[in-house]
Structure 1
């Protein structure tokens, strides 16, 4: 992936996957540092180890750092190359690009707070179609991920589904008493055959006779 100076978060996400796919050890080196060969002088100072003193293990460390630097340098424009060309390690290069385009930790936290607010308050705009809404939502998520702020898939699914409620059909409300019994055909004639022992009239039992209610 080539970075032309625009849309750093997009390039960073693609570059991360690209480096990890080549060799995950390279990515570990960029994140954690290369642990380059050093020696301690007689006065106690820690300095880079001279090349003529390298052993095989030292050369492996230097080689993998050079490989990571090469990948980063080949993926950036000339202006950014000038910014990071003096860096000794690939980690320094990566960190300097982050500070340049994402800012310091304080600036980064401010950006995260702003994006989290957008995420929490996200809603579908009037006359907006589903495709456009989902695209806006994805842009917010990608920007947060580039700043190392992530949400679980279940959280994102619940969030987006709540925005689809307006497209779901409302439950129909039926009038009338739901507890009212609806008689099947033939039941009316059966009721007519019933004779009340209280009033001797057809159509009901003694227990529900209107005459008893009047007493």
Structure 2
């Protein structure tokens, strides 16, 4: 396994940040701090470079000076170059190492990486134009937290700084104040009216805005919650309305059913009537299918009594007539 890229970035303060290619912008800033922490003279070698000692040969040509003839100062300068070079080699994976493999000068290695990832001056200018546009149009979303917005803004600022176009504190503060969501409007006004605003650093402005956001957290999140409550309420109201409509339809159908029942009871078909009295028993004759008032036996009895009565009356009349004749 290669020695390059085997250590985990951030696992220890003695391990340098790892350059993987696509993270050069952030790596450059971290690496500068790392090299300066080793010794300021290490970073000075990166900026100013190291020129190996030379001597003039007998033929008047310039040749490298043998190390045995180096002075203490020359050994010291070489030591800082070696430390810087070792740190750089320890801070990249195999693919990045191939870019600087042929050089032993830390300053040259740094410039090679810079050109490979940032491009030439023309490329840098193009990138700066893009970053300037992003800086001017950046806006905080209504439901975006301040920390997320700060990260986006400072990423633009840091990239511009790495490309040689640093933004002043005043410009950064103004961009922050102009890009905040409407919910910060009252705080923005209060900060701008503060007599010490011009002296504030961007970090202090962000700190005050974070404190304001923290205090207003329930309020700032209320629109989203209210929206959810409104949706739930609308859903409940819709369900209630649907229930009311169902009840109303049921009542209407029930009323219609009662109305039909009343009409059907007034107008019964003969077949239905016959079917409905089929199981009724007559108290007169004991038969089924009719009541006593409609019983034929009862009618016969009544007719018999009437005939007997009329016959008796006739005989009485005849007897009285016979007596009168005698």
Tell me the TM-score normalized by structure 2. Answer: 0.48
Deviations 1:104-160 (A, max 9, x none): 122112111211121123233566444433222122112112212211222211111
As a proportion of its length, which structure holds more helix? 2
2:183 corresponds to 1:164: no
2:115 corresponds to 1:94: no
2:102 corresponds to 1:82: no
Q: Where does the alignment leave 5 or more consecutive residues of structure 2 unmatched?
A: 1-16, 190-326
Q: Which has the higher contact order (CA 8 A, sep 6+)?
A: 1
Distance in structure 1 (CA, Å) of the matches to 2:102 and 2:171: 43
Secondary structure of 1:47's aligned partner: strand
- RMSD (CA atoms): 2.3
Secondary structure of 1:148's aligned partner: coil
- Matched residue, 2:207: none
Distance in structure 2 (CA, Å) of the matches to 1:63 and 1:24: 13
**More displaced stretch, 52-61 vs 127-136:** 127-136
- Matched residue, 1:27: 43
Q: Return the offset for 1:69.
A: 0.5
Tell me the TM-score normalized by structure 1. Answer: 0.71
**More displaced stretch, 86-95 vs 129-138:** 129-138
Is the Cα contact below 8 Å between 1:4 and 1:77 reproduced in 2?
yes
- Matched residue, 2:311: none
Pairing 1:57-206 to 2, within 5 Å after superposition: 57-125=73-141, 128-164=144-180, 166-167=182-183, 168-169=185-186
Please tell me whether Structure 1 or Structure 2 has the larger radius of gyration of its CA atoms. 2
Q: Where does the alignment leave 5 or more consecutive residues of structure 1 unmatched?
A: 172-215
